[in-house]
Amino acid sequence: MTLRVLVPTAQFAQAIQSPGIEAIVWHINDSLADAPAADVLVTERPREFERRARVASIPGLRHVHLLSIGSDWILAHMPAGVTLSNSRGAVEDATAEHGVALILAALRELPTAAIQQRRHDWVPLWTSSVHGSVVLILGYGGVGKELFLRLEPFRPAALVPVASRARVLDNGLQIHGTAELPDLLPHADVVVVTLPHDRSTAHLVDANFLARMKDGALLVNIGRGPVVDTEALLAELSSGRLRAALDVTDPEPLSADHPLWDAPGCLITPHMAGNTAEFIRLATELTVEQLRRISQGEAPLHLVDVV
């Protein structure tokens, strides 16, 4: 029996093509035609919101494999009986690396230096740094753990991991619970959000959360846009009290006239934290393994609960 697999690029099609597997290039966001019948959909998150529902109309679909960790966008569109897996293990390093880049760029005022370069304006800047700062990491899953490891060598004053429940790891590391946030936030120079979006995290970073952050603190979001209340963040940025570095936003993509683009003290990258060549290599290897398992009747790795 041939396994028909929809993939987003010709590169993926070439990588997975093997006896018993028919690769069909179909991009959920960019392909104009409706999806042909297929057993498996391998997909990234569509840029356009209305394209998400296309998952529900693929004839014969049995499994969806996501080229990401986050699955919030697809859950409402999963047909009954179709299983779902993600690319856990392939994207955490790239996302954490981008998180470090955003933190460093914002703290060391690289956007301002870039503007000065375009003006041919030599004005040395005095900046803040990770060194000596208190960095709170909100979310201690795969990305949060990798970010923690990458920030340690910069010698922050403290790295404060926060998760849904407090606990002490076997290595002695104290993980704080979200209930402790009111006491922790006033001491943080940098707050990094790595959380997924679900009912428990939607607008967790709201006006009250932001108000507890210290003056001049930096909010970094490499998790999901809806975790942060955009209007509340805009109010803090407009006042100049807080700064932000965002790889994800709400809404997403931002319209050309959205005020977040021009908010003072805000650095934005277009949801690109995982977009590296190394991620493509790792995600391709994982996809090949997933298809091998499905074709041989085995359970795919990294299954996601779709209920």
What is the dotted CATH code of the domain comprising 92-268?
A: 3.40.50.720
What pairs with residue 3 in β-bridges? 21
| Fold agreement (3-90+275-295, 92-268) | yes
Contacts of 116 (CB under 8 A, 6+ apart): 122, 123
Q: Are strands 174-177 and 167-168 parallel, antiparallel or unpaired?
A: antiparallel
Task: Over range 198-204, report the average pLDDT.
Answer: 94
Dihedral Cα 280, 140, 158, 205, nearest 10 deg: 100
CA separation for the pair 138, 132 (Å, rounded): 19
Task: Over range 190-219, report the average pLDDT.
Answer: 97
- Is the bond preceding residue 59 a cis peptide, omega within 30 degrees? no
- Asked if pLDDT for residue 307 goes beyond 80, the answer is no
In 39-187, where does DSSP find H-type helix?
92-107, 110-119, 142-151, 181-184
62 catalytic? Reply is: no
42 φ, ψ (degrees, to nearest 5): -105, 120
Where do the domains of the chain lie? 3-90+275-295, 92-268
User: What pLDDT does residue 118 have?
Assistant: 97
Q: Are strands 218-221 and 243-246 parallel, antiparallel or unpaired?
A: parallel
Mean residue pLDDT of the chain comes to 96
| Residues 123-137: tens digit of each pLDDT | 999 999 999 999 999
Give pTM, 2 decimals. Answer: 0.94
236 catalytic? Reply is: no
| Residues 262-297: tens digit of each pLDDT | 999 999 999 999 999 999 999 999 999 999 999 999
65 catalytic? Reply is: no
**Architecture in CATH for domain 3-90+275-295:** 3-Layer(aba) Sandwich (3.40)
Q: Which letter does DSSP use for residue 178 in this model? A: G
Per annotation, catalytic residue among 77, 252, 292, 293:
252
User: What pLDDT does residue 303 have?
Assistant: 97
| Residues 32-81: tens digit of each pLDDT | 999 999 999 999 999 899 999 999 999 999 999 999 998 999 999 999 99
Per annotation, catalytic residue among 52, 63, 224, 243:
224
